[in-house]
Amino acid sequence: MALWLIGLGLHDASDVTLKGRAAVRRCKKVYAEFYTARLMGSSKDEIEATLGCDLTVLERAGVEDGGDALVAEAKTADVALVTAGDPLTATTHTDLVLRCRRAGVPVRIVHAPSIHTAAPGLLGLQHYRFGRTVTVARPSGGWFPTSPLEHLLANRERTLHTLVLLDIQAHLEYFMPAREGLELLLEMAKRLETDALGPDTPAGVVAQAGSLEPTLKTGTIAALMEADLGPPLHTLIIPGALHDVEAEAWASLAL
Amino acid sequence: MALWLIGLGLHDASDVTLKGRAAVRRCKKVYAEFYTARLMGSSKDEIEATLGCDLTVLERAGVEDGGDALVAEAKTADVALVTAGDPLTATTHTDLVLRCRRAGVPVRIVHAPSIHTAAPGLLGLQHYRFGRTVTVARPSGGWFPTSPLEHLLANRERTLHTLVLLDIQAHLEYFMPAREGLELLLEMAKRLETDALGPDTPAGVVAQAGSLEPTLKTGTIAALMEADLGPPLHTLIIPGALHDVEAEAWASLAL
Protein backbone atom coordinates (compact mmCIF):
# COMPACT_ATOMS: atom_id res chain seq x y z
CA MET A 1 0.00 0.00 0.00
CA ALA A 2 1.42 3.37 -0.97
CA LEU A 3 0.72 6.62 -2.73
CA TRP A 4 2.66 6.61 -5.99
CA LEU A 5 3.60 9.99 -7.47
CA ILE A 6 4.47 9.30 -11.09
CA GLY A 7 5.91 11.78 -13.57
CA LEU A 8 4.75 11.69 -17.20
CA GLY A 9 7.60 13.82 -18.51
CA LEU A 10 7.73 16.65 -20.98
CA HIS A 11 5.70 16.29 -24.10
CA ASP A 12 3.62 13.20 -24.86
CA ALA A 13 2.50 9.86 -23.50
CA SER A 14 5.74 8.11 -24.46
CA ASP A 15 7.77 10.31 -22.10
CA VAL A 16 6.86 8.18 -19.09
CA THR A 17 9.52 5.74 -17.91
CA LEU A 18 9.10 1.96 -17.99
CA LYS A 19 9.15 2.13 -14.18
CA GLY A 20 6.34 4.66 -14.22
CA ARG A 21 4.15 2.62 -16.53
CA ALA A 22 4.72 -0.55 -14.53
CA ALA A 23 3.85 1.30 -11.33
CA VAL A 24 0.62 2.68 -12.76
CA ARG A 25 -0.43 -0.80 -13.78
CA ARG A 26 -0.10 -2.17 -10.26
CA CYS A 27 -2.24 0.60 -8.79
CA LYS A 28 -5.88 0.08 -8.03
CA LYS A 29 -6.81 3.65 -8.87
CA VAL A 30 -4.96 6.21 -10.99
CA TYR A 31 -5.61 9.93 -10.61
CA ALA A 32 -4.19 12.62 -12.88
CA GLU A 33 -3.46 16.27 -12.16
CA PHE A 34 -3.12 18.46 -15.26
CA TYR A 35 -3.43 21.99 -13.90
CA THR A 36 0.20 22.63 -12.86
CA ALA A 37 1.36 21.40 -16.26
CA ARG A 38 0.09 19.32 -19.16
CA LEU A 39 1.41 17.05 -21.89
CA MET A 40 0.81 19.07 -25.04
CA GLY A 41 1.53 16.18 -27.41
CA SER A 42 -1.09 13.69 -26.19
CA SER A 43 -4.76 13.69 -25.28
CA LYS A 44 -6.10 12.08 -22.13
CA ASP A 45 -7.26 9.13 -24.24
CA GLU A 46 -3.80 8.64 -25.68
CA ILE A 47 -2.23 8.77 -22.23
CA GLU A 48 -4.73 6.19 -20.98
CA ALA A 49 -4.01 3.93 -23.96
CA THR A 50 -0.25 4.17 -23.40
CA LEU A 51 -0.42 3.64 -19.66
CA GLY A 52 -3.04 0.93 -19.97
CA CYS A 53 -5.40 2.32 -17.33
CA ASP A 54 -8.27 4.73 -16.78
CA LEU A 55 -7.39 8.16 -15.43
CA THR A 56 -9.54 10.11 -13.00
CA VAL A 57 -8.64 13.75 -13.60
CA LEU A 58 -8.57 15.86 -10.45
CA GLU A 59 -9.36 19.54 -10.34
CA ARG A 60 -7.00 21.80 -8.43
CA ALA A 61 -9.12 21.49 -5.31
CA GLY A 62 -8.98 17.72 -5.57
CA VAL A 63 -5.28 17.74 -4.75
CA GLU A 64 -4.84 20.85 -2.66
CA ASP A 65 -7.87 20.64 -0.42
CA GLY A 66 -8.90 17.07 -1.02
CA GLY A 67 -5.41 15.61 -0.74
CA ASP A 68 -6.46 13.92 2.46
CA ALA A 69 -8.89 11.76 0.50
CA LEU A 70 -6.02 10.52 -1.69
CA VAL A 71 -3.92 9.79 1.37
CA ALA A 72 -6.77 7.93 3.07
CA GLU A 73 -7.32 5.82 -0.03
CA ALA A 74 -3.60 4.96 -0.17
CA LYS A 75 -3.82 3.47 3.32
CA THR A 76 -5.58 0.40 2.01
CA ALA A 77 -4.54 0.20 -1.66
CA ASP A 78 -1.82 1.25 -4.10
CA VAL A 79 -3.03 4.57 -5.52
CA ALA A 80 -1.25 6.69 -8.15
CA LEU A 81 -1.24 10.36 -9.00
CA VAL A 82 0.27 11.06 -12.42
CA THR A 83 1.45 14.54 -13.40
CA ALA A 84 3.32 16.16 -16.28
CA GLY A 85 7.06 16.72 -15.76
CA ASP A 86 8.84 15.37 -12.72
CA PRO A 87 6.37 14.75 -9.88
CA LEU A 88 8.19 16.81 -7.26
CA THR A 89 8.74 20.14 -9.01
CA ALA A 90 5.36 21.52 -7.84
CA THR A 91 4.93 22.53 -4.19
CA THR A 92 1.49 21.02 -4.13
CA HIS A 93 2.97 17.54 -4.63
CA THR A 94 5.54 18.05 -1.89
CA ASP A 95 2.64 18.97 0.33
CA LEU A 96 1.02 15.66 -0.58
CA VAL A 97 4.20 13.79 0.39
CA LEU A 98 4.10 15.50 3.79
CA ARG A 99 0.45 14.57 4.29
CA CYS A 100 1.41 10.95 3.65
CA ARG A 101 4.32 11.06 6.10
CA ARG A 102 2.06 12.52 8.80
CA ALA A 103 -0.46 9.74 8.17
CA GLY A 104 2.17 7.00 8.05
CA VAL A 105 1.40 6.16 4.41
CA PRO A 106 4.43 5.17 2.30
CA VAL A 107 5.14 7.33 -0.74
CA ARG A 108 6.84 6.07 -3.88
CA ILE A 109 8.25 8.58 -6.36
CA VAL A 110 8.82 7.77 -10.03
CA HIS A 111 10.85 10.52 -11.68
CA ALA A 112 10.49 11.75 -15.23
CA PRO A 113 12.15 14.19 -17.64
CA SER A 114 11.70 17.80 -16.55
CA ILE A 115 12.04 21.18 -18.22
CA HIS A 116 14.42 22.22 -15.44
CA THR A 117 17.05 19.85 -16.80
CA ALA A 118 15.97 19.62 -20.44
CA ALA A 119 15.90 23.31 -21.43
CA PRO A 120 19.48 24.23 -20.45
CA GLY A 121 20.85 21.15 -22.20
CA LEU A 122 18.85 21.71 -25.39
CA LEU A 123 20.40 25.17 -25.78
CA GLY A 124 23.85 23.70 -25.12
CA LEU A 125 24.32 25.45 -21.77
CA GLN A 126 25.99 23.94 -18.71
CA HIS A 127 23.81 23.33 -15.68
CA TYR A 128 26.40 24.49 -13.17
CA ARG A 129 26.44 27.92 -14.83
CA PHE A 130 22.80 28.72 -13.95
CA GLY A 131 21.69 30.91 -11.09
CA ARG A 132 18.25 30.69 -9.56
CA THR A 133 15.28 29.88 -11.78
CA VAL A 134 12.50 32.43 -12.14
CA THR A 135 8.90 32.22 -13.31
CA VAL A 136 7.10 34.95 -15.22
CA ALA A 137 3.45 34.96 -14.23
CA ARG A 138 0.58 36.49 -16.18
CA PRO A 139 -0.21 39.83 -14.56
CA SER A 140 -3.69 40.10 -13.10
CA GLY A 141 -5.39 43.17 -11.72
CA GLY A 142 -2.82 45.63 -10.46
CA TRP A 143 -0.35 42.88 -9.55
CA PHE A 144 2.87 43.15 -11.49
CA PRO A 145 5.91 41.77 -9.69
CA THR A 146 9.37 42.80 -10.93
CA SER A 147 11.22 40.26 -8.80
CA PRO A 148 11.81 37.82 -11.71
CA LEU A 149 13.90 40.44 -13.50
CA GLU A 150 15.67 41.43 -10.29
CA HIS A 151 16.72 37.82 -9.71
CA LEU A 152 17.70 37.44 -13.37
CA LEU A 153 19.91 40.53 -13.27
CA ALA A 154 21.50 39.36 -10.01
CA ASN A 155 22.35 36.07 -11.76
CA ARG A 156 23.78 37.86 -14.75
CA GLU A 157 25.95 40.11 -12.59
CA ARG A 158 27.55 36.88 -11.39
CA THR A 159 27.90 35.81 -15.09
CA LEU A 160 25.22 33.13 -14.58
CA HIS A 161 22.43 32.08 -16.94
CA THR A 162 18.75 32.21 -15.92
CA LEU A 163 16.05 29.69 -16.74
CA VAL A 164 12.80 31.64 -17.13
CA LEU A 165 9.72 29.47 -16.80
CA LEU A 166 6.52 30.86 -18.29
CA ASP A 167 3.13 30.79 -16.65
CA ILE A 168 0.83 27.82 -17.21
CA GLN A 169 -2.84 28.00 -16.27
CA ALA A 170 -3.93 24.78 -17.86
CA HIS A 171 -7.53 25.01 -16.61
CA LEU A 172 -7.87 28.23 -18.64
CA GLU A 173 -6.01 26.78 -21.66
CA TYR A 174 -3.42 29.48 -21.06
CA PHE A 175 0.22 28.67 -21.83
CA MET A 176 2.33 31.83 -21.93
CA PRO A 177 4.10 32.17 -25.27
CA ALA A 178 7.74 33.29 -25.40
CA ARG A 179 6.70 36.59 -27.01
CA GLU A 180 4.53 37.51 -24.04
CA GLY A 181 7.19 36.42 -21.55
CA LEU A 182 9.77 38.61 -23.28
CA GLU A 183 7.33 41.53 -23.39
CA LEU A 184 6.78 41.19 -19.66
CA LEU A 185 10.54 41.16 -18.99
CA LEU A 186 10.84 44.40 -20.99
CA GLU A 187 7.98 45.91 -19.01
CA MET A 188 9.69 44.92 -15.75
CA ALA A 189 12.88 46.65 -16.94
CA LYS A 190 10.85 49.79 -17.62
CA ARG A 191 9.28 49.71 -14.17
CA LEU A 192 12.66 49.13 -12.52
CA GLU A 193 14.05 51.97 -14.63
CA THR A 194 16.99 49.82 -15.71
CA ASP A 195 18.58 49.47 -19.12
CA ALA A 196 20.33 46.26 -18.09
CA LEU A 197 17.73 44.36 -20.15
CA GLY A 198 16.24 45.66 -23.38
CA PRO A 199 15.27 44.71 -26.95
CA ASP A 200 18.94 44.05 -27.81
CA THR A 201 19.55 41.68 -24.91
CA PRO A 202 20.33 38.11 -26.06
CA ALA A 203 17.83 35.41 -25.16
CA GLY A 204 17.10 31.80 -26.05
CA VAL A 205 13.84 29.93 -26.53
CA VAL A 206 13.07 26.24 -26.11
CA ALA A 207 9.65 25.27 -27.48
CA GLN A 208 8.03 21.81 -27.62
CA ALA A 209 10.74 20.39 -25.34
CA GLY A 210 10.58 16.62 -25.22
CA SER A 211 9.28 16.26 -28.77
CA LEU A 212 11.70 14.85 -31.32
CA GLU A 213 11.80 18.19 -33.14
CA PRO A 214 11.80 20.95 -30.54
CA THR A 215 12.17 24.56 -31.66
CA LEU A 216 15.48 25.95 -30.41
CA LYS A 217 16.31 29.58 -31.18
CA THR A 218 18.70 32.22 -29.91
CA GLY A 219 18.76 35.92 -30.78
CA THR A 220 17.97 39.34 -29.40
CA ILE A 221 14.75 39.76 -27.45
CA ALA A 222 13.41 41.96 -30.27
CA ALA A 223 14.16 39.34 -32.92
CA LEU A 224 12.71 36.47 -30.88
CA MET A 225 9.50 38.45 -30.34
CA GLU A 226 9.03 38.48 -34.13
CA ALA A 227 9.93 34.82 -34.67
CA ASP A 228 7.57 31.90 -35.25
CA LEU A 229 8.34 29.55 -32.39
CA GLY A 230 5.56 27.06 -32.92
CA PRO A 231 3.00 25.80 -30.43
CA PRO A 232 3.47 25.81 -26.61
CA LEU A 233 5.04 25.01 -24.22
CA HIS A 234 7.70 27.73 -24.45
CA THR A 235 10.58 28.35 -22.06
CA LEU A 236 13.13 31.17 -22.02
CA ILE A 237 16.77 31.38 -21.06
CA ILE A 238 18.64 34.66 -20.59
CA PRO A 239 22.34 33.91 -20.76
CA GLY A 240 25.14 35.22 -18.59
CA ALA A 241 28.70 34.84 -19.86
CA LEU A 242 29.05 32.04 -22.44
CA HIS A 243 31.97 29.64 -22.26
CA ASP A 244 33.56 28.22 -25.44
CA VAL A 245 31.31 25.23 -26.15
CA GLU A 246 28.29 27.20 -24.93
CA ALA A 247 29.08 30.07 -27.30
CA GLU A 248 29.36 27.74 -30.26
CA ALA A 249 26.08 26.04 -29.39
CA TRP A 250 24.40 29.42 -28.92
CA ALA A 251 25.63 30.64 -32.32
CA SER A 252 24.52 27.42 -34.02
CA LEU A 253 20.92 28.15 -32.95
CA ALA A 254 20.88 31.82 -34.01
CA LEU A 255 17.73 33.05 -35.75
CA MET B 1 19.33 9.01 -40.51
CA ALA B 2 20.29 10.72 -37.27
CA LEU B 3 22.40 10.50 -34.18
CA TRP B 4 20.09 9.71 -31.27
CA LEU B 5 21.24 10.78 -27.80
CA ILE B 6 19.12 8.80 -25.38
CA GLY B 7 19.03 9.19 -21.61
CA LEU B 8 18.70 6.12 -19.40
CA GLY B 9 17.75 8.04 -16.27
CA LEU B 10 18.80 7.73 -12.68
CA HIS B 11 19.04 4.28 -11.25
CA ASP B 12 18.20 1.17 -13.27
CA ALA B 13 17.18 -0.09 -16.69
CA SER B 14 13.49 0.74 -16.13
CA ASP B 15 14.25 4.48 -15.84
CA VAL B 16 14.37 4.88 -19.63
CA THR B 17 11.26 6.40 -21.21
CA LEU B 18 9.02 4.54 -23.66
CA LYS B 19 10.22 7.04 -26.27
CA GLY B 20 13.82 6.19 -25.49
CA ARG B 21 13.30 2.45 -25.76
CA ALA B 22 11.40 2.78 -29.03
CA ALA B 23 14.16 4.98 -30.44
CA VAL B 24 16.88 2.51 -29.49
CA ARG B 25 15.00 -0.25 -31.26
CA ARG B 26 14.91 1.62 -34.56
CA CYS B 27 18.65 2.27 -34.49
CA LYS B 28 21.05 0.10 -36.44
CA LYS B 29 23.79 0.43 -33.85
CA VAL B 30 23.61 1.35 -30.18
CA TYR B 31 26.62 2.69 -28.30
CA ALA B 32 26.75 3.29 -24.55
CA GLU B 33 28.87 5.71 -22.56
CA PHE B 34 29.18 4.90 -18.87
CA TYR B 35 32.12 7.00 -17.71
CA THR B 36 30.33 10.30 -16.99
CA ALA B 37 27.72 8.42 -14.97
CA ARG B 38 26.38 4.91 -14.58
CA LEU B 39 23.16 3.14 -13.64
CA MET B 40 23.99 1.59 -10.28
CA GLY B 41 20.87 -0.59 -10.19
CA SER B 42 21.37 -2.58 -13.41
CA SER B 43 24.17 -4.47 -15.15
CA LYS B 44 24.97 -4.01 -18.82
CA ASP B 45 23.20 -7.32 -19.51
CA GLU B 46 20.06 -6.12 -17.75
CA ILE B 47 20.08 -2.86 -19.69
CA GLU B 48 20.46 -4.78 -22.96
CA ALA B 49 17.60 -7.09 -22.02
CA THR B 50 15.33 -4.17 -21.15
CA LEU B 51 16.19 -2.14 -24.23
CA GLY B 52 16.12 -5.18 -26.49
CA CYS B 53 19.44 -4.50 -28.21
CA ASP B 54 23.18 -5.07 -27.94
CA LEU B 55 25.25 -2.25 -26.49
CA THR B 56 28.75 -1.35 -27.63
CA VAL B 57 30.35 0.35 -24.65
CA LEU B 58 32.64 3.25 -25.55
CA GLU B 59 35.63 4.31 -23.53
CA ARG B 60 36.07 7.99 -22.77
CA ALA B 61 38.25 8.45 -25.84
CA GLY B 62 35.58 6.84 -27.99
CA VAL B 63 33.28 9.80 -27.47
CA GLU B 64 35.64 12.68 -26.87
CA ASP B 65 38.26 12.03 -29.51
CA GLY B 66 36.46 9.50 -31.65
CA GLY B 67 33.16 11.35 -31.75
CA ASP B 68 33.70 11.99 -35.43
CA ALA B 69 33.37 8.26 -36.11
CA LEU B 70 29.93 8.27 -34.45
CA VAL B 71 28.90 11.29 -36.48
CA ALA B 72 30.12 9.73 -39.73
CA GLU B 73 28.20 6.53 -38.99
CA ALA B 74 25.02 8.56 -38.33
CA LYS B 75 25.21 10.00 -41.84
CA THR B 76 24.00 6.76 -43.35
CA ALA B 77 22.07 5.08 -40.53
CA ASP B 78 20.19 5.74 -37.31
CA VAL B 79 22.79 5.41 -34.56
CA ALA B 80 22.19 5.80 -30.82
CA LEU B 81 24.37 6.77 -27.90
CA VAL B 82 22.78 5.90 -24.55
CA THR B 83 23.99 7.48 -21.31
CA ALA B 84 22.92 7.58 -17.67
CA GLY B 85 20.86 10.59 -16.58
CA ASP B 86 19.65 13.14 -19.09
CA PRO B 87 21.77 13.04 -22.25
CA LEU B 88 22.65 16.74 -22.30
CA THR B 89 23.96 17.37 -18.79
CA ALA B 90 27.54 16.43 -19.75
CA THR B 91 29.60 18.86 -21.87
CA THR B 92 30.98 15.99 -23.89
CA HIS B 93 27.51 15.24 -25.27
CA THR B 94 26.88 18.88 -26.16
CA ASP B 95 30.15 18.72 -28.04
CA LEU B 96 28.81 15.72 -29.95
CA VAL B 97 25.67 17.68 -30.87
CA LEU B 98 27.87 20.45 -32.28
CA ARG B 99 29.92 17.97 -34.33
CA CYS B 100 26.66 16.72 -35.84
CA ARG B 101 25.46 20.23 -36.68
CA ARG B 102 28.77 21.03 -38.36
CA ALA B 103 28.48 17.84 -40.41
CA GLY B 104 24.81 18.38 -41.26
CA VAL B 105 23.72 15.25 -39.38
CA PRO B 106 20.36 15.52 -37.60
CA VAL B 107 20.40 14.96 -33.84
CA ARG B 108 17.47 13.59 -31.87
CA ILE B 109 17.43 13.99 -28.11
CA VAL B 110 15.42 11.72 -25.81
CA HIS B 111 15.37 13.14 -22.30
CA ALA B 112 15.36 11.19 -19.07
CA PRO B 113 15.13 11.76 -15.32
CA SER B 114 18.14 13.62 -13.97
CA ILE B 115 19.65 14.17 -10.54
CA HIS B 116 19.52 17.93 -11.18
CA THR B 117 15.73 17.84 -10.91
CA ALA B 118 15.25 14.73 -8.76
CA ALA B 119 17.45 15.57 -5.75
CA PRO B 120 15.89 18.93 -4.82
CA GLY B 121 12.39 17.47 -5.10
CA LEU B 122 13.19 14.38 -3.04
CA LEU B 123 14.28 16.57 -0.11
CA GLY B 124 11.14 18.67 -0.49
CA LEU B 125 12.97 21.80 -1.67
CA GLN B 126 11.72 24.21 -4.33
CA HIS B 127 13.73 24.43 -7.54
CA TYR B 128 13.46 28.18 -7.84
CA ARG B 129 15.19 28.56 -4.47
CA PHE B 130 18.49 27.05 -5.67
CA GLY B 131 21.56 29.01 -6.67
CA ARG B 132 24.22 27.59 -8.93
CA THR B 133 25.08 23.91 -8.72
CA VAL B 134 28.57 22.88 -7.67
CA THR B 135 30.57 19.68 -8.02
CA VAL B 136 33.05 18.40 -5.46
CA ALA B 137 35.86 16.60 -7.26
CA ARG B 138 38.28 14.08 -5.75
CA PRO B 139 41.51 15.95 -5.04
CA SER B 140 44.52 14.70 -6.96
CA GLY B 141 48.13 15.68 -6.51
CA GLY B 142 48.36 19.17 -5.08
CA TRP B 143 45.13 20.26 -6.77
CA PHE B 144 42.49 21.28 -4.24
CA PRO B 145 40.02 23.87 -5.50
CA THR B 146 37.96 25.79 -2.95
CA SER B 147 35.62 27.32 -5.53
CA PRO B 148 32.74 24.88 -4.80
CA LEU B 149 32.51 26.20 -1.23
CA GLU B 150 32.89 29.80 -2.40
CA HIS B 151 29.94 29.39 -4.79
CA LEU B 152 27.93 27.59 -2.10
CA LEU B 153 28.48 30.37 0.43
CA ALA B 154 27.58 32.99 -2.18
CA ASN B 155 24.31 31.12 -2.75
CA ARG B 156 23.62 30.91 0.95
CA GLU B 157 24.25 34.64 1.46
CA ARG B 158 21.37 35.12 -0.96
CA THR B 159 19.32 32.59 1.13
CA LEU B 160 19.54 30.04 -1.72
CA HIS B 161 20.09 26.29 -1.52
CA THR B 162 23.00 24.54 -3.25
CA LEU B 163 22.95 21.21 -5.04
CA VAL B 164 26.36 19.62 -4.49
CA LEU B 165 27.14 16.90 -7.01
CA LEU B 166 29.82 14.41 -6.02
CA ASP B 167 32.61 13.17 -8.25
CA ILE B 168 32.05 10.07 -10.40
CA GLN B 169 34.98 8.32 -12.04
CA ALA B 170 33.14 5.29 -13.25
CA HIS B 171 36.14 3.77 -15.06
CA LEU B 172 37.91 3.60 -11.66
CA GLU B 173 34.78 2.34 -9.88
CA TYR B 174 34.94 5.53 -7.84
CA PHE B 175 31.67 7.13 -6.72
CA MET B 176 32.29 9.74 -4.03
CA PRO B 177 30.30 8.94 -0.88
CA ALA B 178 28.51 11.73 0.98
CA ARG B 179 30.91 11.38 3.91
CA GLU B 180 33.90 12.18 1.72
CA GLY B 181 32.09 15.07 0.03
CA LEU B 182 31.24 16.58 3.42
CA GLU B 183 34.81 16.07 4.62
CA LEU B 184 36.08 17.93 1.55
CA LEU B 185 33.67 20.82 2.17
CA LEU B 186 35.00 21.08 5.74
CA GLU B 187 38.57 21.04 4.42
CA MET B 188 37.69 23.84 1.96
CA ALA B 189 36.30 25.90 4.85
CA LYS B 190 39.57 25.41 6.72
CA ARG B 191 41.61 26.51 3.72
CA LEU B 192 39.39 29.55 3.16
CA GLU B 193 39.69 30.30 6.88
CA THR B 194 35.92 30.70 7.17
CA ASP B 195 33.59 29.46 9.85
CA ALA B 196 30.55 29.96 7.60
CA LEU B 197 30.49 26.16 7.15
CA GLY B 198 31.42 23.68 9.85
CA PRO B 199 30.40 20.40 11.53
CA ASP B 200 27.17 22.01 12.81
CA THR B 201 26.04 23.29 9.40
CA PRO B 202 22.82 21.63 8.21
CA ALA B 203 23.02 19.43 5.12
CA GLY B 204 20.87 16.92 3.27
CA VAL B 205 21.74 13.69 1.48
CA VAL B 206 19.96 11.95 -1.37
CA ALA B 207 21.25 8.43 -2.02
CA GLN B 208 20.05 5.87 -4.58
CA ALA B 209 17.91 8.50 -6.30
CA GLY B 210 15.57 6.94 -8.82
CA SER B 211 15.18 3.71 -6.88
CA LEU B 212 11.83 3.12 -5.22
CA GLU B 213 13.42 3.40 -1.77
CA PRO B 214 16.02 6.16 -1.90
CA THR B 215 17.82 7.17 1.29
CA LEU B 216 16.82 10.71 2.25
CA LYS B 217 18.43 12.26 5.34
CA THR B 218 18.91 15.72 6.79
CA GLY B 219 21.05 16.72 9.75
CA THR B 220 24.25 18.45 10.69
CA ILE B 221 27.33 17.73 8.61
CA ALA B 222 28.87 15.98 11.62
CA ALA B 223 25.83 13.72 12.10
CA LEU B 224 25.55 12.87 8.39
CA MET B 225 29.23 11.89 8.32
CA GLU B 226 28.45 9.20 10.92
CA ALA B 227 25.25 7.97 9.26
CA ASP B 228 24.77 4.86 7.15
CA LEU B 229 23.55 6.21 3.82
CA GLY B 230 23.66 3.01 1.81
CA PRO B 231 25.32 2.38 -1.54
CA PRO B 232 26.12 5.10 -4.13
CA LEU B 233 25.24 7.32 -5.88
CA HIS B 234 25.13 10.03 -3.22
CA THR B 235 24.26 13.71 -3.69
CA LEU B 236 24.38 16.56 -1.18
CA ILE B 237 22.29 19.65 -0.66
CA ILE B 238 23.31 22.53 1.62
CA PRO B 239 20.21 24.57 2.37
CA GLY B 240 19.79 28.32 2.45
CA ALA B 241 16.71 29.73 4.18
CA LEU B 242 13.86 27.20 4.37
CA HIS B 243 10.30 28.27 3.58
CA ASP B 244 7.33 26.74 5.44
CA VAL B 245 6.71 23.58 3.40
CA GLU B 246 10.45 23.15 2.88
CA ALA B 247 11.10 23.37 6.62
CA GLU B 248 8.49 20.74 7.37
CA ALA B 249 9.90 18.41 4.69
CA TRP B 250 13.42 18.96 6.01
CA ALA B 251 12.37 18.14 9.58
CA SER B 252 10.50 15.02 8.43
CA LEU B 253 13.78 13.60 7.07
CA ALA B 254 15.93 14.41 10.11
CA LEU B 255 18.39 11.74 11.22
Residue range B129-155: mean pLDDT, rounded: 95
Is the CB of residue B127 less than 8 Å away from at least one CB of chain A? yes
Residue range B94-100: mean pLDDT, rounded: 94
A-to-B residue pairs, Cβ atoms closer than 8 angstroms: 164
User: Which region among A125-139, B39-53, B56-70 has the lowest average model confidence (pLDDT)?
Assistant: B56-70
Which chain B residue shows the shortest CA-CA distance from A133? B128
Measured between beta carbons, the chain B residues lying within 8 angstroms of A239 are none
**pLDDT tens by residue, B7-21:** 999 999 999 999 999
| d(CA B214, nearest CA chain A) in Å | 9
pLDDT tens across the length of chain A (255 residues): 999 999 999 999 999 999 999 999 999 999 999 887 889 999 999 999 999 999 999 877 667 666 888 999 999 999 999 999 999 988 889 999 999 999 999 999 999 999 999 999 999 999 999 999 999 999 988 889 999 999 999 999 999 999 999 999 988 899 999 999 999 999 999 999 999 999 999 999 999 999 999 999 999 999 999 999 999 999 999 999 999 999 999 999 999
Measured between beta carbons, the chain B residues lying within 8 angstroms of A248 are 98
pLDDT reported for residue B245: 94
| d(CA B173, nearest CA chain A) in Å | 24
pLDDT reported for residue B228: 97
Asked whether the predicted pLDDT for residue B65 surpasses 80, the reply is no
* Closest in A50, A124, A132 to B97, CB measured: A124
Which chain A residue shows the shortest CA-CA distance from B116? A117
pLDDT reported for residue B61: 63
- Chain A 105-124, residues with CB within 8 Å of chain B CB atoms: 108-114, 116-118, 120-122, 124
Buried residues in A102-126 as b, exposed as e (16+ CB within 10 A): eeebebbbbbbbbbbbbbbbbbbbb
Task: Tell whether pTM > 0.90.
Answer: yes
pLDDT reported for residue B35: 82
Mean pLDDT of chain B: 95
Measured between beta carbons, the chain A residues lying within 8 angstroms of B21 are 18
pLDDT reported for residue B141: 86
pLDDT reported for residue B66: 66
> Which of A129, A249, A128 lies closest to B97 in space, CA to CA?
A249
Is the CB of residue B135 less than 8 Å away from at least one CB of chain A? yes
Residue B34: band (very low, low, confident or very high) from pLDDT cuts 50, 70, 90: confident
What ipTM describes this predicted complex? 0.96
Measured between beta carbons, the chain B residues lying within 8 angstroms of A47 are none
Return the DSSP state at B199.
Answer: T
pLDDT reported for residue B62: 66
CA atoms within 13 A on the CB side of A192: 21
CA distance A224 to A202: 9
User: Which region among A61-70, B93-102, B245-254 has the lowest average model confidence (pLDDT)?
Assistant: A61-70
